[in-house]
Amino acid sequence: MALRREPHVLVVGGSDSSGGAGIARDIETISSIGVRT
């Protein structure tokens, strides 16, 4: 049986009160390309 390898994403950042950047935006972007969070 072959092992299933899933890619990993490491997000290093902070927060941005304007909503244009930061971890929240990174998670949105990662989710939009089909990566589970």
Average pLDDT, the chain: 80
What is the value of pTM for the model shown?
A: 0.56
pLDDT surpassing 80 at residue 31: yes
Alpha-carbon torsion (33, 35, 36, 37), positive or negative: negative
Mean of the pLDDT values across residues 6-21? Answer: 79
Which tokens is 18 given? 């304007």
| pLDDT digits 0-9 by tens, 19-29 | 677 888 888 88
pLDDT on residue 37: 61
pLDDT surpassing 80 at residue 32: yes
* Residue 27: closest CA among 12, 37, 17: 37
CA distance 18 to 22: 9
- Look at 11 and 20; give whichever has higher pLDDT: 11
